[in-house]
Chain A
């Protein structure tokens, strides 16, 4: 059975303190791995898609990487506005059915 596990469940950072979030997956045939950001009371907002092991993508203070078993979301020198829940999801079929992890709640304090 396909599984997506995110760790840690929660992360509290000081402003400027870099850290990484983990998304490990056990699936039969990865078609894509997606990272989303979700603010309280809102829908998930797309960040990155990774398709193959070794791929990396960056956006401002965020960098996503992918191996054959896991993905990392690195947050470099975070700011309070980076506080959110970060979700990863995997796609294993040809039409967009996503399986989500439970998310990592990140709080960045000034």
Chain B
């Protein structure tokens, strides 16, 4: 099992540039989550999908953030334009509809630095 795969591992970009983060969930998982983690705020849920459909995007900070899941094996999180306050570690996680108690499987994360 390859686990959840995220790319890139590190991204350094200048303010105003577009950033695209990518995620491949574990095969067979029907839920996909995007989280952001900072020291100040901890892990924050940005958006999640069920069967490729966005269910709750209330955690997306503002219109500069968008996420897509065109198929069951791929999702993107895009920030346009990026700002220094977007600097954080972005995690993708997936799980399956196994009733209550389904654990989340996280990817290695993308460490984003916006200068």
A binds B: no
Binding site for A on B (CB under 8 A): none
